[in-house]
């Protein structure tokens, strides 16, 4: 019975670990978040150690990452030197945080390179047919990135409404 619940929890934890790995995050992150998400109250680092099976070091670094992403929050309690953590339960907020996090990444830097390259090419003469071809292709790519960018921006700004609003709108569209 209680054993049964424990089994389900364990299942959930390993499942979320895999999801985490799938999206390019450390699996430990997924495990830690899973444990916190299924816990009614905040947990200390040591409790995370026992419940995840990871070592203090791993917990320490992963917890930092999760905090930076806004997926968990530190909740230090007065008169207690321990740090306590709890999971963010508003996933939409978490998604927005993650999207913003990724803005200053290799990705956007590379996109910026494309933009600059295109600007330079377009300003020069493009009587050269090969050059004209390049301009055409890069422009299509840039337009695509711009669209993605707007999409991310829009989602990032959806403060009160959740993703379900977007879903509804999209359903109306077709």
Partner DNA sequence: TACTATGTTTAGTACAAACTAAACGTTCTA
Partner DNA sequence: TAGAACGTTTAGTTTGTACTAAACATAGTA
| Secondary structure E strands in 19-151 | 43-44, 72-74, 84-87
The 35-54 contact track toward DNA, x by CB under 7 A, reads ---------xxx------xx
Q: How far apart are CA 90 and CA 43, in angstroms?
A: 18
Establish if 137 lies at the interface with a second copy (CB under 8 A). yes
The partner in contact with residue 61, picked from a second copy, DNA, none with C-beta cut-offs of 5 to 8 angstroms by kind, is DNA
Give the largest CA-CA distance in the chain.
77
**82-121: which residues touch a second copy (CB under 8 A)?**
89, 91-92, 105-107, 110-111, 113-114, 117, 120-121
- Which region, judged by CB under 8 A, interacts with a second copy, from 12-20, 43-51, 54-62, 73-81? 12-20
Supply the Cα-derived Rg of the chain in whole angstroms: 22
- Nearer Cβ to DNA (82/102): 82
- Which region, judged by CB under 7 A, interacts with DNA, from 61-69, 92-100, 123-131, 161-169? 61-69
Nearest alpha carbon to residue 45 among 79, 9, 82: 82
The partner in contact with residue 162, picked from DNA, a second copy, none with C-beta cut-offs of 5 to 8 angstroms by kind, is a second copy
- Nearer Cβ to DNA (5/82): 82
Residue 14: enclosing H or E segment and its boundaries? helix 2-22
3-class SS of residue 51: helix
Establish if 147 lies at the interface with a second copy (CB under 8 A). yes
Angle at 130 between CA 142 and CA 124, to 5 degrees: 65
Q: How far apart are CA 153 and CA 150, in angstroms?
A: 5
Establish if 64 lies at the interface with DNA (CB under 7 A). yes
Establish if 125 lies at the interface with a second copy (CB under 8 A). no
Binding site for DNA (CB under 7 A): 25-29, 44-46, 53-58, 60-64, 81-83
């Amino acid at each position: 019975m209680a054993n049964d619940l424990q089994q389900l929890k364990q299942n959930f934890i390993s499942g979320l670990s895999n999801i985490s790995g799938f999206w390019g995050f450390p699996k430990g992150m997924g495990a830690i978040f899973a444990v916190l998400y299924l816990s009614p109250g905040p947990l200390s680092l040591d409790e995370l150690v026992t419940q995840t099976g990871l070592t203090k070091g791993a917990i320490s670094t992963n917890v930092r990452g999760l905090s930076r992403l806004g997926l968990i929050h530190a909740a230090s309690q007065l008169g207690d030197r321990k740090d306590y953590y709890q999971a963010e339960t508003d996933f939409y907020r978490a998604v927005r945080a993650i999207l913003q996090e990724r803005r200053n990444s290799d990705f956007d830097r590379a996109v910026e390179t494309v933009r600059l390259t295109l600007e330079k090419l377009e300003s020069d003469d493009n009587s050269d047919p090969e050059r004209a071809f390049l301009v055409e292709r890069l422009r299509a790519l840039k337009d695509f990135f711009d669209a993605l960018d707007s999409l991310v921006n829009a989602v990032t700004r959806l403060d009160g409404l959740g993703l379900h609003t977007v879903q509804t709108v999209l359903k109306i569209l077709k």
